Amino acid sequence: MRRKLGGSFPGLTKMNAVWVMAKKIFSLTLILNALITLATISGILYGFYHAWPWWKPYAPYLVSGNFFLIAAAAALINIFPSASIGRTLHTGRLLFHHYVYGFFVLLMSSIYVLAFTSVSLITLFLVNSGNIAVNTGRFFVLAGLTLVLDDLPDVSKKVESTLNKLKSQTYRARKAFYALQFVTGAITLYIFLAIAIFVSLHPSTNIANFVTMGTLLVTGITSFACVKRKAWLKITTLKMSQH
């Protein structure tokens, strides 16, 4: 008989515990990617609108910089099904809830940004900077936010109640979200291809282009994977889940 583990995985065999943890990490990674996509797009859109109409990102392969708004929508729509993967797992907690660690990481990374960079927290994701300290701060701010979002219903009863109401409202529009996820995912992959063609024809050492391509590719693939799983169509309300 396989030995069962206690602690964070009560009643689970060692192999099952590893599988649960792997799915949890996968869920967190998808949430983090969605947030990186949003952060990357916010910087591009800020530059696009600030320099409009003189700067056209990745032209002529990208028809319009406004398409990044659709990619941002794709990332937002992906967050709920990505978080749902981890919410269905019973990983327990190490001393505290995940959101406690999330808020701690947010606090420490915010202090780091203020102390070791010349960028304010307000413009952290808007400025075009290849500075290692700035990008390190950006990553840990998003990592902390990922942990908070993953465990958001446990923050308080009021937050949980608000999320349940929002979920009930979303349930009525689940078919629309299902269709939107397909459309926004397809356009996100188009943006990825447009940037890939631009970069291949205009070689650059700017790592931001590769980060943008990578996160858009994952976002697009995630959208289609969720569409295939019919993630938004499987959403249930609180009343349905109690039956």
Report yes or no: 212 and 62 within 8 Å, Cβ to Cβ.
no
Report yes or no: 58 and 203 within 8 Å, Cβ to Cβ.
no
Report, as an integer, the average pLDDT of 190-194: 98
Q: Is the peptide bond before 57 cis (omega within 30 degrees of 0)?
A: no
- For residue 81, give the amino acid letter: P
d(CA 64, CA 56): 7
C-beta neighbour count of 10 within 10 angstroms: 11
What is the pairing mode between strands 4-5 and 12-13? antiparallel
Q: What count of Cα atoms within 13 Å lies in the side-chain half-sphere of residue 242?
A: 4
Report, as an integer, the average pLDDT of 119-142: 94
C-beta neighbour count of 41 within 10 angstroms: 27
What is the overall mean pLDDT for the chain?
87
pLDDT, residue 92, reads: 56
- The DSSP string of the chain is -PPEE-TTSTTEEHHHHHHHHHHHHHHHHHHHHHHHHHHHHHHHHHHHHHHTTT--TTTTTSS-TTHHHHHHHHHHHHHHHHHHHHHTS----BSB-HHHHHHHHHHHHHHHHHHH-S--STTTTTS----HHHHHHHHHHHHHHHHHHHTGGGS-HHHHHHHHHHHHHHHHTHHHHHHHHHHHHHHHHHHHHHHHHHHHHS----HHHHHHHHHHHHHHHHHHHHHHHTTGGG---HHHHT-
pTM as predicted: 0.86
Angle at 238 between CA 235 and CA 241, to 5 degrees: 70
| pLDDT tens, position by position, 68-121 | 999 999 999 999 999 888 776 555 555 557 788 999 999 999 999 999 999 999
pLDDT, greater one: 144 or 171: 144
Compute the chain's Rg from CA coordinates: 20
Report, as an integer, the average pLDDT of 111-138: 93
| pLDDT tens, position by position, 23-80 | 889 999 999 999 999 999 999 999 999 988 889 999 999 999 999 999 999 999 999 9
pLDDT, residue 5, reads: 43
Report yes or no: 73 and 41 within 8 Å, Cβ to Cβ.
no
pLDDT, residue 234, reads: 87
**pLDDT score of 2 more than 50:** no
